[in-house]
Copies of this chain bind each other. A is one copy, B any other.
Amino acid sequence: MTGTGSSDRVPLADLVETLSPILERYGCSNAVARLLAENCAAAERDGAHSHGLFRMRGYVDTLRSPGWVDGRAVPSIEDAAPGFLRIDARNGFAVPALAAGRDLAIRKARENGVAAVAIRDSHHLGALSLDVEPFADAGLVALTFINSMRAVVPFGGHRAVFGTNPIAFATPRAGDAPLVFDMATSSMANGDVQLAAREGRALPADTGIDRAGRPTTDPKAVLDGGALVSFGGHKGAALSLMVEIFCAALVGGGFSGELDLSGHPGVATPRSGQTVLLIDPDAGRGRLPDFAGRVATLLSMVREAGQERLPGDRRLQARRVAERRGIPVSPEMRATLAELAAG
């Protein structure tokens, strides 16, 4: 990670070695720092910049905020039922909590045909696609939800209650990496609103409201006491609501609208929950082989009908280039990382 002027291209493993000590410096245990660094570097490799290196400052600010996330938390795993795993992240990050339960969750899904993982008291700042992809690598279908900090109004409402509450889905497919998509159930991701504000761009219509509850296309008005709306009108709003139920009521945690951040200005993580549902396609299809082949057939039909780019295509393309040539890191980002490392 040396050089000046243009972007260096850095192998994934080297980037992890750069990021992990930074996270450790600000209070993560070695094990947690490594998992978060791997997650962050993998998001950057996949071109998911909003969850990649861009987030390092958020991690640091959050770790520095007294009494917020515990970077040394050791998750506790409860084998709640034959198909159900409860994970208490103990106010730590969600990524290591899920990693701690992953193997048992896969085993439960294979033994029972289906399994659920409910994570509570966790902080999620990573790319949700990376949470589900390993399950699809193991041959399972995975669906996950997380709630977060209040940012989204209920349908027709005037005050934020929901988080951006993303959904991610992953499935094996023949002849390629798993098909994975993740999407905020909000009209836009928070990070993109911040970017628009910084660049002075107006938001599309139906993106957000101002602090008086009126529709606005001004990103600053959304950020300054306003809120986002859900994507897709009342249907998307119902999904935002559903995610709250899955990630707070179901796991025994707090709703996005209950989270009090007033004593923690600048923190970038919620203290929230996550639910993962896993399905073993072999249980569904019985003696019919080749679930992954059927998914590939569907995707061929979709392409033939004119959809040029499938969900995740761009991510896999970025990944392939990065695996061959390294992950691009700009001089500005190198400077930021150096500053955080010296911190």
Binding site for B on A (CB under 8 A): 78, 80-84, 86, 111-116, 118, 141, 143, 153-161, 169, 171, 181, 183, 185, 213, 231-238, 241-242, 244-246, 248-252, 255, 257-258, 275, 277, 279-281, 283-286, 288, 291, 294-295, 297-298, 301-302, 304-309, 311
Contacts and interface: CB of A to CB of B under 8 A. Distances in A.
A84 B280 contact: yes
Contact of A286 (B237, B252, B275): B252
A111 B82 contact: yes
Given A78-B286, A157-B307, A283-B84, A116 B118 contact: no
B298 A248 contact: yes
A241 B286 contact: no
Contacts of A183: 235, 238
B298 A81 contact: no
A236 B167 CA distance: 12
Contact of A82 (B112, B251, B277): B112
Given A83-B83, A237-B307, A249-B281, 18 more contacts: A80-B286, A81-B113, A81-B280, A84-B112, A84-B283, A114-B114, A116-B283, A141-B246, A143-B242, A159-B305, A231-B235, A232-B232, A232-B235, A238-B311, A249-B295, A250-B281, A251-B285, A252-B285
B232 A114 contact: no
27 contacts: A80-B113, A80-B283, A82-B82, A86-B284, A112-B112, A114-B114, A114-B277, A116-B279, A116-B283, A141-B250, A153-B306, A154-B305, A155-B307, A156-B306, A159-B306, A161-B305, A169-B238, A181-B238, A213-B306, A231-B233, A245-B298, A248-B298, A249-B285, A249-B295, A250-B285, A257-B298, A257-B305
A250 to B, nearest CB: 4
Contacts of A185: 235
Contacts of A283: 80-81, 84, 86, 116, 118
B114 A115 contact: yes
Contact of A245 (B86, B171, B252): B171
A255 B306 contact: no
Contact of A295 (B81, B155, B234, B245): B245
A211 to B, nearest CB: 13
Contact of A241 (B111, B242, B311): B311
A272 B78 CA distance: 38
B302 A249 contact: no
Contact of A160 (B143, B297, B305): B305
A78 B113 CA distance: 13
Contact of A252 (B156, B237, B284, B295): B284
Contact of A84 (B113, B249, B298): B113
Of A234, A235, A280, A311, most buried by chain B (CB within 10 Å of CB) is A235
A208 B297 CA distance: 25
A152 to B, nearest CB: 10
Nearest to A230: B232
